[in-house]
Structures are given as structure tokens and as C-alpha cells.
Amino acid sequence: MGIIVQKYGGTSVATPERVKNVAKRIVKTKNEGNRVVVVVSAPGDETDDLISLANQITDSPDEREMDVLLACGEQKSIALMTIAIKALGYDAISFTGPQVGIVTDDVHGKARIVKVGSEKIEKALNLDKIVIVAGFQGMDTDMDITTLGRGGSDLSAVAIASALNADVCELYKDVDGIMTANPKVCPDATLLPRITYEEMLELASAGAQVVNARSIEYAQNYNVPMRVRSSFNDNPGTLVVKEAKEMEKLFVTGITYNKDESKISVLGIKDTPGMAAIIFSAVALENVNIDMIVQDVSEDGITNISFTVPTGEVKKTVKALESVKDKVGIKKILTDDSITKVSAVGVGMKSHSGVAAMMFEALAEAGVNIDMITTSEIKISCVIAQKDCETAVRALHAKFNLGKK
């Protein structure tokens, strides 16, 4: 009998009524002859609510204790889901992340998985139980509770699917699958029946919030078959695959954006070897994820560097910069949270030239000014003013002909 791992996000388990509906879907999967493991997120806005509780006490709560607090959300969901399945007359059991042996490093708030146990789950499956596991949480080697970063339940599901050698990891969302753009911005966005891990990863790290970026990376590394679909209907959703030939014919597969980034400019740096290394080592020590980096042409032995970081990490970053201020001769640190990054992604870029030119053309035609640019093999990103975000996304979606035909 095959194993199916299903993951349900917060929206799908937000109310007792929805928990009951999801329980029915789980039981149906079981009745189709599968062994079923389910990973759930905290209900609705629970995680945000817990964060806000701590922030009402202090604006820099202790990171270890935040993990103890945030892990409560998922624990609520596993118990309620198991209660719902049992009420339908089926046998089920709930486990926390630590209970099933999700071992992580000790970086609280965004811990990395180092090992996933399978014994406890397999034992329960062998007793014909449906297994419900709390997403987002694990424990470090000190047996302290850790969390895997926002949206981390997807990663829990993929890691568990990999450890169990599951047939598929189904990520249930409140959308039909992966779309060519956010349908709230582009009403003519279309559903992608297939997408490559590579593209998914670029879309996710460029701001598409449908699937957690680290979970895609994990699925790609361990070759976990993954399907993104809706928990509100029976549509097949989007299958994530290694390669999809038909997509290479397209210039671009999807457009996405990220409003949650800020630009930091470091002015007046001595233009001598080693300065960038000092700056970015200091920032790395704070575990900040840097995205784009641009260094100006230097003048009179002085230069400026600008880069983008998640807006939530600006404070930490500035603190790190202050600590090397004298060493590097920094004159001024500027921060700007009114930016947005828009990106076009597609494996087709590997075989088509001129995609960047088309992108700049579309933005120019829409009257959108470009501040910073980066490219990878399958992605082009531009930093623009946040007020232009929707205009830019719509212009790019149209330029690359991604709307409903």
C-alpha cells in the first residue's frame, strides 16, 4: 500500500467546520486504499496572533521562548484534526514534530532540518492508523523546541514524505495551484498544470507565497513528488516535476512580486579589498538573508553598496552594520521599505534571448522606473517603487502573454 502525505494550511483548518471537512477528505484518501500521513499548520491567523501577544510584552522577545510559544498553534490543529477523524469512526493519532523525531539545528525561528525519524510514524501506520503530525516544529539536539520559519509546515510535510519514501506529497492550499500571477492582481491569470522544481523555487524565493521556498528546495534535493492543490475542491492542481518540456517553449512561466523587502544603502565605504567581506560577514552573523547586491562605481577611493533584505530583518542588519562602521569607514546607512521586487521566471529563458529586454520594455511602456536589477539563469528581478507594483505585474503578465487566451 502506498503512502500519501497531505499537508493542510492554516486556512483549511481555520474553523471546526473546516477541520471536519478536511477530516472527511483524509478519510476518503484512506478508503481509497492509501496509508495516510497528514501535516497541519496552526489554524487561521493563530501564528500571527501568538507573535502579536509576545510583541505586546516586548518588541524583541527571546527567540527560544518564541519557538515554545509558536509551536502551540500547530499543536492545537493536530489534536482537533485527530478528534475529528476519530469522530468519523476512524483510528488516528497525533504527534508533535519532536515526537516523530524532526531534528533541527538550533537557529530558533528558522531552524534547518538535519534528520527526520520514520519509526514512530511507520509503527502507527502499521497499526492501520491515520497519522497527524504538527508542521513547522522540531527540536534541536538539546531537545529544545525549534520552528522552521514562516510557512514551515510545507517543509515538514516534504521532509516527512522523503523520510517515509511516500508516493506523493500533496500540499493543500486555499488556491487551485500555481498560477501565472497572483489572480488578485491579474484577474486573467491561469493555472499551471505542471511546473519544474527550479521554477517553483525561483517563484517562491521571489515572493510567490503559495509554497514555502525551503520545502521546494528539499523536494528537489530528495526528489519528492509534490502536488499543489486546493482543499476546497477536487481539481488536480499543479504537479511539480523535474523537467517539463512544454514549458521551455514559453519565454516566461510566471510573474511574481515581493513587497516585504527593504533596500539598505551603505554609503562612504573605503574602496579597498576586503570591505565587502567585512560588511557581509557581519550581516551573515545575524542570519539575515540578503538578496540583491549592487555596488556603485567608486569615486575618490570611496564607494557605496546597496542591498535588499526582508523588511523584518532591517533592524538586525543595521545593528550589524553599525558594529563594523568604523572598520569600513561607513559614513551613512539608509533604509527604504517603500520598494517592491517584481520578477519574471521561466526555464524558457535558458533557450530564448531577449527576455530581459522585453521585461524592461514592458516596464518602460507602463511608466515604471527600475531601481535595481538582478538576473539568474531562469529569473529576472527588478526593484521598483511599491506604488507601481500592481501596474508592473499586470504589464509583465500581458507582455509575456500569460493571460487566459
Q: Which residues contact ligand ASP (rule: CB under 6 A)?
A: 9-10, 41-42, 47, 73, 135-136, 150-153
493542510: which residue's cell? 8
Task: Give me the least distance between CB of 54 and ligand ASP, in Å please.
Answer: 14
Q: Considering beta carbons, is residue 97 or 346 the nearer one to ligand ASP?
A: 97
- Cβ within 8 Å of residue 305, ≥6 positions away: 265, 266, 269, 276, 279, 293, 294, 295, 296
Closest separation between CB of residue 212 and ligand ASP, Å? Answer: 7
Q: Single out the residue of 142, 299, 326, 377 in contact with Mg ion (rule: CB under 5 A).
A: 142
Cβ of residue 61: shortest distance to Mg ion, in angstroms?
15
In the list Mg ion, ligand ASP, none, the entry touching 142 (Cβ below 5 to 8 angstroms by class) is Mg ion
* Nearest distance, CB of residue 283 and Mg ion, angstroms: 23
Strand-pairing partners, residue 8, are 40, 172
Binding partner of 106, given ligand ASP, Mg ion, none, CB within 5-8 angstroms per partner class: Mg ion
Among 144, 248, 271, 286, binds Mg ion (CB under 5 A): 144
Residues in the chain, total: 405
**CB nearer ligand ASP, residue 41 or residue 82:** 41
Residue 383 CA to residue 380 CA, distance in Å, equals 10
Please work out the total of residues on this chain that contact Mg ion, with binding judged by CB under 5 A. Answer: 4
Q: CB of 136: closest distance to ligand ASP in angstroms? A: 4
Stretch of residues binding Mg ion (CB under 5 A), selected from 106-114, 122-130, 225-233, 361-369:
106-114
- Spell out where 187-286 has E strands: 194-196, 226-230, 238-241, 254-258, 261-270
On whether the CB atoms of residues 321 and 288 are closer than 8 A, the answer is no
How far is residue 180's CA from residue 189's CA, in Å, rounded to a whole number? 5
- Which C-beta is closer to Mg ion: that of 107 or that of 276? 107
* Smaller CB separation from Mg ion, 109 or 183: 109
Amino acid letter for position 376: S
**Is the Cα dihedral 179, 181, 184, 190 positive or negative?**
negative
Query: Helix crossing, 119-126 with 153-164: angle to 10°?
Result: 70
Listed in sequence order, the DSSP H helices in 127-274 are 153-164, 197-205, 213-222
Of the candidates 91, 105, 66, 84, the one whose C-alpha atom is nearest the C-alpha of residue 21 is 84
Q: Cα(41)–Cα(112) distance, rounded to whole angstroms?
A: 18
Does residue 299 interact with Mg ion by CB under 5 A? Answer: no
Residue range at the interface with Mg ion (CB under 5 A); choices 46-54, 90-98, 100-108, 240-248? 100-108
- Our CB check for Mg ion shows the closer of 106 and 390 to be 106
Do 384 and 368 meet the contact criterion of CB atoms below 8 Å apart? yes
In whole angstroms, the minimum distance from the beta carbon of 394 to Mg ion comes to: 46
Distance in angstroms (rounded) separating the CA atoms of residues 381 and 378: 10
Choose the contact partner of 151 out of Mg ion, ligand ASP, none; CB within 5 to 8 A by kind.
ligand ASP
Return the residue of 45, 105, 106, 286 that touches Mg ion, per CB under 5 A: 106
Find the shortest distance in angstroms from Cβ 51 to ligand ASP: 9
Residues within the interface to Mg ion (CB under 5 A): 106, 140, 142, 144
